[in-house]
Structure 1
Amino acid sequence: MLLLLPPELIKVVLFHYACPTLVGRPVSLEPVQLVCKRLNDLVVGSNDLYELVFSAKFSSRFAQDLAGLTSPNWRFQLDYYNQALALVQLRAFPPDPVELQQLLWAVYVMCLEDDDGLNRAQLDSVHAYDWIKSYVMNHLYDGSNENNGWPLESDENALALWIMWYLTTKDRIMSEPEEESDIIVSLVLPYVIGHFRYTTAWAPPNHLHLPLPKRIQLPGNQSAPTTLLISWPTPHGPHPIYKKSRPWNHCLFEHRVALAPPLLTLAAKQHFFIRREIYQFGMPPTMPRTRAEAPERPLPFPTQEDIIEFNSHRLGGFDGLQGGTKIGCRLARAEWRRMQYCANPWSGSRVSNIYIPGSLSGLFVGRMLMMNEFALAGLLANAALPAGLSEMLLSMTVTPVYMRLEELVCRHGEDVLPSTRLRPPPPESPLSEDSDSDSEDVPMPLQEELDHALAQAFDDGMANAFLPPQTSFHNRGEDVGISAPGLDRTYDYHRLVEPSLVHDPEACPGCIRREEKMREIWQQDIENEATRQVLPPCTGVQDVVIRGDTDLKHTRAWGAFTIAGRVRQWDGLIVLMRRSTLATTIFYGYITNDGMSFSGNWRIGTGDPGMPALEGAFSLGKVAE
């Protein structure tokens, strides 16, 4: 009877056969293909059937970047995800390292492209959270015996922690046994505090202009390889750490996409903070109840109402719209772009927009992690992981952080504010490395000239958050003038307030450069069909400067701070300088959780950017106002 129906109706029947329910693995169509040649030909030649089945079961955001998908492409991806779910359902971890990576990458990409929640539903149906938690609790320290006891910064560990983070919910955290929660905190603790050993950014935060040139220009028309920048050995390896990941050729709809693993330490910090934000800040009975009831004091101090307000921001608050470390948000699309373009500080595209303008505008609230300076010095001096490493051993405490931030943008075609070093960015680097670029035999300059040139190339002014010293801002309506001693002019930036940012793709120089770069990529795709790259869309913005402060009521409780900084275009790294009358602190990190969180590290604002410093983690969340 089925064969008597028109082909269009047969496809409808086959679709419902393959998808009897929304949640759950799709039913294989192979038995249908064995019935007769006509049904086999209909299934094999039906592009829209496999696309319908895939779209009913899984999210397909990344398919938008791949034009001309055919039935075999949709079928491949459907089978790929189905097989991955089957292994997860069996609570299996393949013993073969390559097969394990393939499985973890498949699940991670499902998490990353889950726009509509379909992938999460399928992963929950096979108990993926319990599966990946089992991996974290039992395999995170695989290989640590050959690594002085420290857990490896491996692709597997990075993918596992990010998968577990995406599948974490507030209910799961609140119902997690305290003993289990403490075990997970102790497992990720080395990643949280080990900024001297593990990568904390896609490229060290002392660089603003990336990708780095292969050689540094020196006086007298000479040059030197930039590898000389890596010059400070420590017991834990070279510092600062230049991330140069070996790309994973991920198969997406039968197209090979080169991806670097996500930043492991960023996921570890979020796992740490959510399990410590469960606990409220205490209120001594002697603490004043309100500001009106408090006696006058020369220094800031909190009242009970300040503590109550801060506690309301734990884990995003009761409605998920407050500060703190938010749970249950989508992974940002920016992470996919970083994995494509930021695997190597010496390569990548400077015409991409990793950072989404507007992400930092508003009030951010959260915590910064403090530790004993002498305990940190002990960790730095010894390569081995101390026995019994714990929060208590490091005398770790947390401090509230409030930041009200505003973005100032410079459009393509306008003049960009120089960085502290007052030098232009390096010339555009190609997408691929030239392996012979450092092999030229060139004469070396005098040592003092080399030292000066390396210092200029090494630090773009992290201590001033990439801004000229003594930068000042002058309001001019919707525009803001930025000036500093040593600059010969004032630079005009625009407040990011709609509709002040008008982006015309036809006239935008950034869009024009993007199209030129895309033509190069398309030509490479023709020559090498295993590669597939699509640059992010141009936003019309070429530079983002941040300014901010603390609101009056938060100033009275926690101290007065002014904030200024910049966004690194290459990977979206945010570097902020927070100043008070007592100290300067540098915050650097990334927007995560679909633009709702800002996480990373803080460090003291003085000292050599090439050396490990007093440093700790922080986690802030945007407040919906």
Structure 2
Amino acid sequence: MALVSSSHHHSRLLALPPELLEHVAFHLATRPPNLGSPAALLPLLSTSRRLNQALSPSTNSALYARIARAKFTLPRHGKRRLKADTDASLLPTFCRVLRVIRSGDPHHPQAEWALQIAYGLLLVDDTAKPDLSDLSYAPTSSPSQPPPTAPRIGKNKRQLGWAGARAFALRWIRSRMWENRNGDREPSSIQDTEWRPEWSTEAWRVGWPRDSNATASALWLLWFFESKETLAAEPDNLRQNVMAQLLPFVVAPFRYASALAPPHHYTIPLLDSVRAKVGLDQGITVPTFHGDYPIYALGKPSRLPIRRPRSLSSKSKVLGPRLLLPRKITSRQRKRLLSAPPARLLFFARVQAGSRMGIPPHLPVDRADADRRWLEGGNTGPPIISLTQADILEKNTRPIVRFERQVVARLGSSSLEDIWAVDPAVSDASESTRARWAIDLWRGRVCRGYGEDLEVASSDESESGSSDEDGQRTATPRSTQIAEPEPGRIGRVYELGSFAGLWAGTMMMPGEQAYTNVINTVGGALPPGGLTNDDFVAVARPVYMRIREHWSFHPNIPAPPASADSATNDEGLGNGWFPINTSFRTGASLAAGQQLEVRVPSAAFAQETHVYETISLLDGDLPKARDGAHDLDTCPGCKSVEQRDWERRQFQDMDQDNDADVDEDQYSEPPSSATPSPAVALSPSSEDGGFSSPDSEDEEDDWEPLSCDGVQDVVFTGETDANHGQAWHHYEYIGRVRPWDGLIGLLMRPRNRTIGLATYFISGHLVGRDTFEGTWQMAAQDVLAPSWGGSLCLARGEE
């Protein structure tokens, strides 16, 4: 009887139109909670041969592409969807990642691969970006209560959270991050596992944990799922153990890179004068007990020939999507992930969750009480710098890092599946949500080498350099391009306006003697017993800074960096990447305080003046420059975007058949006004950067929307607010953004230069939009010698 009934149901299913049958299969595969693989399809596919043929992945890629998009946020290609077979091919890969993570075994054969894919999934997720109005550090706020307008949490994060990604990453960190630290289990070949040339040196066989893509991915994965609640539930002994595991990455910037290129370089690709030294093996790195210094994370620079730019019409095969992962283990194609930045975030998060500064009862209660005591003591003049109980209370209350939003249990949720459930109806096409981690994604994809010029979008000879008689491009010497905008980029590496405002955090200052002893240890061995917090987290110095952001627009010329030092290649690290004696001025002659003059010393005791527009932040924290600052009619970036937009429209279907001949007669001529010009350094006109990339054979045809804001350069000025300066000393800040990778460099110098306070150079990146992580070093130090320095983290403040 059952067989007859089953046969009857089969015939009824087969009688359905193919569209309805696919619709049934889709809803079966994505039924709530829509977590993990579409295992519910297996009984249906096993029902009959005809159903299997109609609904199998090999014959119905469109169905599985639809399922993949319902379960995950997939990589995108501009405003176009990937081909159905490409989307469908991602589904088994991502489901396999969930199975590996859900196993909970950090020693699984595919654990390293799964960690890296999981990190890539989080970078392309559709989690919405929070507004400043969502942030709060007030002690009266309840961390258990979700904000009234909580942003949507992305599909990928929900899937990974359900699989147990946080616990899996933590197990990896505790059990595998330190493996092979003595070089006792080296792979038999570079194909066996991830391998880096520096690991063959003795400096990486003396007890220090290795910086690998898998370790970095595990650290980032843990950070994405960290919160006040997870840290509050962490036992104190576990917290201390994790901090001890992370400490080497946090306190040893002389060994672990914190940026893809050393901070004393501002111009990348490197200047000709610097590249010339590579062949002579001069002035690039200095051997130390801990390996070569400074640290070039992508490998030592090489004198590669300048790449010829490609036009859009040149045909190249469009490869599948990339998730910031290495497909080939070669020094040139490997996408490097760094462990120090996420280790720093996780370490400072635990500092934030742990002890607080003690409040001595003898201190004045607040600033008014301190001023009263000053006068009652018979003193005259301005009160001295001094702490109050209110200052320490504020320091203890403010966060050092800001966590990402986590999934909040739905009302009435009774199981893990209910909490992490994925809504298949949520669209993943929103531009506002897909840009959440675009900065980090693009940085990892476009920063691939130091010694070659980036390709640009157009073949027009006026774009960069000139052509010889045979039509080959002759590169303009880099030394003549210092003050010009950088060539186009395929992705933005700094979000304009994101660093303006109040920032507060902590600078960890290790004991100078202990730090120096480790640097000078013969052989570079890790000290017996490891590093201790007492030695390397000796002083937690509060840092407050209010930053203003200034933009350069065409036709103004951006201020150049300092000329590269002939011995060290330093481009002004000790002066915030500006020439020495550069001054900054606002005044009545400028546009009502909305402009900044950067005055750079020139020949014959003269000065060159470079005008920047001071931006303001609108409601919703959107940056805006003065009206008319961006001249759309003369902006070369706008012209470049217009040209590339025209080219995109003409060739938008070329990827459907890359080997097909193109009938040029069917295309119209480009607009006469769309003459290609150099793309601006940090503007959205550089987001697409053309239709080729530094490694086009290993990059997908993936762009962000074409637009132009005209920004050529970003400069920062700032200071410590008066109330914070009266407690922690008054500092001034100047700096800028490095166009190549969005590294923020700031000079932190005391306002009063006569009281013996040191001047520091701070460099780092924004994580998301509300946390700054980086390192500090003495501004006057020799850039080719490791010396006293450390880490810092700052959180965006509230106005």
SS of residue in 1 equivalent to 2:369: coil
Code of the residue aligned with 2:207 in structure 1: it is: G
Task: Give, in whole Å, the separation in 1 of the partners of 2:108 and 2:228.
Answer: 32
SS of residue in 2 equivalent to 1:123: helix
2:544 is aligned with 1:402: yes
**CA spacing shift, 1:66–1:252, aligned 2, 3 Å:** farther
Task: Give, in whole Å, the separation in 2 of the partners of 1:490 and 1:578.
Answer: 23
2:133 is aligned with 1:122: no
- Tell me if the contact between 2:326 and 2:334 (Cα under 8 Å) persists in the aligned partners: no
2:450 is aligned with 1:276: no
2:387 is aligned with 1:311: no
SS of residue in 1 equivalent to 2:182: helix
SS of residue in 2 equivalent to 1:108: helix
Q: CA deviation at 1:583?
A: 2.4
Task: Give, in whole Å, the separation in 2 of the partners of 1:464 and 1:328.
Answer: 34
- Rg larger in structure: 2
Code of the residue aligned with 1:385 in structure 2: it is: L
2:519 is aligned with 1:380: yes
**CA spacing shift, 1:412–1:162, aligned 2, 3 Å:** farther
Question: Partner residue of 1:615?
Answer: 789
TM-score w.r.t. the length of structure 1 is 0.84
2:614 is aligned with 1:601: no
Task: Give, in whole Å, the separation in 2 of the partners of 1:32 and 1:376.
Answer: 64
Task: Give, in whole Å, the separation in 2 of the partners of 1:9 and 1:231.
Answer: 65
Question: Partner residue of 1:358?
Answer: 497
TM-score w.r.t. the length of structure 2 is 0.67
Per-residue CA shift, 1:241-291, capped at 9, x if unaligned? Answer: 111169xx9964999976613221011111110101122221011111111
Question: Partner residue of 1:197?
Answer: 255
* Count of matched residue pairs: 572
Match of 2:445 among 332, 340, 346: 340
**CA spacing shift, 1:292–1:103, aligned 2, 3 Å:** same
Question: Partner residue of 2:136?
Answer: none
- Report matched runs for 1:224-623 at 5 Å: 225=279, 227-244=281-298, 252=322, 260-278=335-353, 279-294=355-370, 295-296=373-374, 298-314=383-399, 324-328=400-404, 332-347=437-452, 349=454, 350-352=487-489, 353-382=492-521, 383-388=524-529, 389-394=531-536, 396-421=538-563, 453-455=566-568, 458-470=569-581, 471-475=583-587, 476=590, 477=592, 478-486=594-602, 488-497=607-616, 498-500=624-626, 508-510=635-637, 515=644, 518-519=689-690, 521=692, 528=697, 531-532=699-700, 534=702, 539-580=709-750, 581=752, 582-592=757-767, 594-623=768-797
2:218 is aligned with 1:160: yes
Question: Partner residue of 1:5?
Answer: 16
Task: Give, in whole Å, the separation in 2 of the partners of 1:78 and 1:225.
Answer: 47
Greater fraction of residues in strand:
1
- Tell me if the contact between 2:297 and 2:336 (Cα under 8 Å) persists in the aligned partners: no
**CA spacing shift, 1:198–1:255, aligned 2, 3 Å:** closer
Per-residue CA shift, 1:564-616, capped at 9, x if unaligned? Answer: 11110100011101111232111111111x21111100111112112112101
**CA spacing shift, 1:504–1:139, aligned 2, 3 Å:** farther
- Percent same amino acid among aligned pairs? 28
- Tell me if the contact between 1:404 and 1:549 (Cα under 8 Å) persists in the aligned partners: yes
Q: CA deviation at 1:75?
A: 1.6
- Report matched runs for 1:63-102 at 5 Å: 63-65=76-78, 67=80, 69-93=82-106, 96=109, 99-102=110-113
Per-residue CA shift, 1:460-485, capped at 9, x if unaligned? Answer: 00000112323222242222222144
Structure 2 residues without counterparts, runs of 5 or longer: 1-11, 128-153, 184-204, 301-318, 328-332, 375-381, 407-435, 455-486, 617-623, 645-675, 677-687
- Tell me if the contact between 2:321 and 2:700 (Cα under 8 Å) persists in the aligned partners: no
Code of the residue aligned with 2:548 in structure 1: it is: E
Task: Give, in whole Å, the separation in 1 of the partners of 2:296 and 2:558.
Answer: 26
**CA spacing shift, 1:351–1:522, aligned 2, 3 Å:** closer
RMSD of the alignment, in Å? 3.0
SS of residue in 2 equivalent to 1:102: helix
Tell me whether 253-262 or 107-116 shows the greater mean CA deviation. Answer: 253-262
- Tell me if the contact between 2:77 and 2:701 (Cα under 8 Å) persists in the aligned partners: no
Code of the residue aligned with 1:51 in structure 2: it is: A
- Report matched runs for 1:9-48 at 5 Å: 9-28=20-39, 29=41, 31-34=43-46, 35-37=48-50, 40-42=53-55, 44=57, 46=60, 48=62
Per-residue CA shift, 1:362-408, capped at 9, x if unaligned? Answer: 00011000111111110101110012311113362201110000011
Q: CA deviation at 1:523?
A: 12
**CA spacing shift, 1:164–1:351, aligned 2, 3 Å:** same
SS of residue in 2 equivalent to 1:292: helix
**CA spacing shift, 1:46–1:89, aligned 2, 3 Å:** same
Per-residue CA shift, 1:166-206, capped at 9, x if unaligned? Answer: 12122101110000000110001011111111112110000
- Tell me if the contact between 1:159 and 1:262 (Cα under 8 Å) persists in the aligned partners: yes
SS of residue in 2 equivalent to 1:393: helix
**CA spacing shift, 1:293–1:588, aligned 2, 3 Å:** same
Task: Give, in whole Å, the separation in 2 of the partners of 1:290 and 1:518.
Answer: 53
Task: Give, in whole Å, the separation in 2 of the partners of 1:407 and 1:38.
Answer: 61
- Tell me if the contact between 2:77 and 2:702 (Cα under 8 Å) persists in the aligned partners: no
SS of residue in 1 equivalent to 2:256: coil
Code of the residue aligned with 1:78 in structure 2: it is: L
Q: CA deviation at 1:312?
A: 1.7
Task: Give, in whole Å, the separation in 1 of the partners of 2:762 and 2:84.
Answer: 48
Code of the residue aligned with 2:258 in structure 1: it is: T
Code of the residue aligned with 2:169 in structure 1: it is: I
SS of residue in 2 equivalent to 1:293: helix
Question: Partner residue of 1:432?
Answer: none
Task: Give, in whole Å, the separation in 2 of the partners of 1:465 and 1:459.
Answer: 11
Code of the residue aligned with 1:267 in structure 2: it is: P
Code of the residue aligned with 1:491 in structure 2: it is: H
Task: Give, in whole Å, the separation in 1 of the partners of 2:253 and 2:733.
Answer: 23
Code of the residue aligned with 1:312 in structure 2: it is: T
Code of the residue aligned with 1:585 in structure 2: it is: Y
Task: Give, in whole Å, the separation in 2 of the partners of 1:203 and 1:8.
Answer: 53
SS of residue in 1 equivalent to 2:403: coil
- Tell me if the contact between 2:733 and 2:747 (Cα under 8 Å) persists in the aligned partners: yes
Q: CA deviation at 1:453?
A: 3.5
